Structure 1
Amino acid sequence: MASIYNIPSHIKAWVYYEYGNIEEILKFESNIPIPDIKEDQVLIKVVAAALNPADYMRALGFFKDTDAPLPIVPGFDAAGVVVRVGSKVSKFKVGDEVYGDIIEYAWNNPKTIGTLAEYTATEEKVLAHKPSNLSFIEAASLPAAIITAYQGFDKIEFSAGKSILVLGGAGGVGSLVIQLAKHVFGASKVAATASTPKQDLLRSLGADLAIDYTKENFEELVEKFDVVYDTVGESNKALKAVKEGGKVVTIVPPATPPAITFSAVSDGAVLEKLQPYLESGKVKPVLDPKGPFPFSQTVEAFAYLKTNRAIGKVVLHPIP
């Protein structure tokens, strides 16, 4: 398919050739063959990409039995411009600004070339048009986190009028769980945990009760909640904070029964469904103030993400 863009045959990308700590194994390459597209795929010029814990877990070999063959270009989240479309693509055309988590199933046969590259290819079904009010940096921060947040509510069949406690409310997923609970799902009360400097952020996102986990134990609160949404891996404590008959959902396996764990599936339809909330500003991206990191500082960005101190999302821009 012809394109108005001057698309190179080889691209710059971050690559690893073996499993290990991502900040030790990542190498910058400037001569990676550009990915081909299948009939249901588009080629994207990546403008901004976000980092996820799944990137460094994948690099450690957590799911190597179902992983793509090495070498691997990591990265799930991107925002960019469509430069080529497959013959069966109907939703997008060359020039469209799009965003998405390009890997449908993180743990099962993920792509060899992820989003930490100048160009990447993915199926149209995992993408959506970028909300017009968001920058590429803001849009890149959203897909994996907001899809995960949303699908967790689906998993527990959350409904308006229920109360919710969010563990890790200042993180990439947690900061969006608070906003979705408040503005999309109509929670009666939203509580959330974070450290002392992040209490104001929790309130600004819509938390009615901000809990400083360095000063009090959420599981010892007199008040109990209909749902506890655990983004930090404390499902055992979460079970003590839930009402009788309530539910605990966690994104960090293994879950302590009867807490429910789930893995998100990337889906452009979720992004489309949430578009009105993003365009109205009711739901906002939360970007770490240290970012965006330039593409040349990808290793430093991963090292920072691994400290677990990041607020919201860590984004790379510009690329390259």
Structure 2
Amino acid sequence: MAAASTDSIPSVNKAWVYSEYGKSADVLKLDPSVPVPQIKEDQVLIKVVAAALNPIDYKRALGYFKATDSPPPTVPGYDVAGVVVKVGSQVTKFKVGDEVYGDLNEKAVQYPKKFGSLAEYTAGEERVLALKPKNLSFVEAASLPAAIETAYEGLERTEFSAGKSILVLGGAGGVGTHVIQLAKHVFGASKVAATASTRKLELLRSLGA
């Protein structure tokens, strides 16, 4: 299966690319012939099914952290969900055909990858990926990594623990919805309060606020 799959992997693919910093609408272009990344021993090649956009993507494109960024040209995108089509020699956790998801960058602003998730194929280290839960679609899985990492780290940094109460400002946003659920179901909050516009209040209640 691995050999047949490898034979069918193209040498180039479509990817969104920017070659200079600026507003995404001005600098981001769809390139139909970007070389498919070569994987390292600890990486897998993923056929991308879904990719998410986060605030860090437009901030990176604007050059907000160019001092620690990998220099353009850049294929943006941190979050990915897709199917493994090739595995490096040191990879033990995944095999060809596995459905995976994750955030391709271990550190958001310190030398993020030049080749992200906004492409037909992308490469990711085994350690930054996980098997996609069967009860999540690829789109749902791709929406999770960066937002839930931010939410979890925020709760850890505040040393949040069971029995404490929390107020979540902007509870209906990507990070806010995860903070509510993590605080209640993982960290054991005694009470979760949250703010949002009136039409989103039922959503907040359904999440546990």
Deviation at 1:88, TM superposition (A): 0.7
**Counterpart residue number, 1:49:** 51
In the alignment, the residues of structure 1 paired with residue 87 and residue 4 of structure 2 have an alpha-carbon distance, to the nearest angstrom, of 12
**Counterpart residue number, 1:195:** 197
In the alignment, the residues of structure 2 paired with residue 62 and residue 3 of structure 1 have an alpha-carbon distance, to the nearest angstrom, of 42
The alignment partner of 1:160 has SS state of coil
In the alignment, the residues of structure 2 paired with residue 192 and residue 175 of structure 1 have an alpha-carbon distance, to the nearest angstrom, of 9
**Counterpart residue number, 2:31:** 29
The alignment partner of 2:151 has SS state of helix
Residues 10-54 of structure 1, C-alpha deviations (whole Å, 9 max, x = no match) = 010111111011122110111000111111111100000111000
Report the RMSD for the aligned CA atoms in angstroms. 1.2
In the alignment, the residues of structure 1 paired with residue 81 and residue 4 of structure 2 have an alpha-carbon distance, to the nearest angstrom, of 19
**Counterpart residue number, 1:153:** 155
Deviation at 1:148, TM superposition (A): 1.4
**Counterpart residue number, 2:186:** 184
In the alignment, the residues of structure 2 paired with residue 171 and residue 73 of structure 1 have an alpha-carbon distance, to the nearest angstrom, of 25
User: Is the counterpart of residue 80 in structure 1 residue 87 in structure 2?
Assistant: no
8 Å CA contact 1:3–1:94 kept in 2: the answer is: no
The residue type equivalent to 1:4 in the other structure is: A
Deviation at 1:196, TM superposition (A): 2.0
The residue type equivalent to 1:154 in the other structure is: E
The alignment partner of 2:156 has SS state of helix
TM-score by length of 1: 0.63
**Counterpart residue number, 1:274:** none
The alignment partner of 1:198 has SS state of helix
8 Å CA contact 1:22–1:56 kept in 2: the answer is: yes
Residues 267-299 of structure 1, C-alpha deviations (whole Å, 9 max, x = no match) = xxxxxxxxxxxxxxxxxxxxxxxxxxxxxxxxx
8 Å CA contact 1:43–1:85 kept in 2: the answer is: yes
In the alignment, the residues of structure 2 paired with residue 36 and residue 157 of structure 1 have an alpha-carbon distance, to the nearest angstrom, of 41
The alignment partner of 2:195 has SS state of strand
- Give the one of 46, 60, 69 matched to 1:58: 60
Return 5+ residue gaps in structure 2 as ranges. none
**Counterpart residue number, 1:126:** 128
How high is the sequence identity, in percent, across the aligned residues?
73
Residues 177-201 of structure 1, C-alpha deviations (whole Å, 9 max, x = no match) = 0011111111000011111221111
Return 5+ residue gaps in structure 1 as ranges. 208-320
In the alignment, the residues of structure 1 paired with residue 28 and residue 84 of structure 2 have an alpha-carbon distance, to the nearest angstrom, of 27
The alignment partner of 1:187 has SS state of coil
Q: How many residues align?
A: 207
Residues 199-222 of structure 1, C-alpha deviations (whole Å, 9 max, x = no match) = 111111111xxxxxxxxxxxxxxx
In the alignment, the residues of structure 1 paired with residue 38 and residue 110 of structure 2 have an alpha-carbon distance, to the nearest angstrom, of 20
**Counterpart residue number, 2:4:** 4
8 Å CA contact 1:50–1:141 kept in 2: the answer is: yes
Runs of 4 or more off by more than 4 Å in structure 1? Answer: none
Deviation at 1:90, TM superposition (A): 0.9
**Counterpart residue number, 1:221:** none
In the alignment, the residues of structure 2 paired with residue 193 and residue 128 of structure 1 have an alpha-carbon distance, to the nearest angstrom, of 32
**Counterpart residue number, 1:247:** none
In the alignment, the residues of structure 1 paired with residue 129 and residue 102 of structure 2 have an alpha-carbon distance, to the nearest angstrom, of 5
**Counterpart residue number, 1:173:** 175
Deviation at 1:3, TM superposition (A): 3.5
Deviation at 1:147, TM superposition (A): 1.4
TM-score by length of 2: 0.96
**Counterpart residue number, 2:141:** 139
In the alignment, the residues of structure 1 paired with residue 160 and residue 176 of structure 2 have an alpha-carbon distance, to the nearest angstrom, of 16
Deviation at 1:162, TM superposition (A): 0.1
The residue type equivalent to 1:124 in the other structure is: E
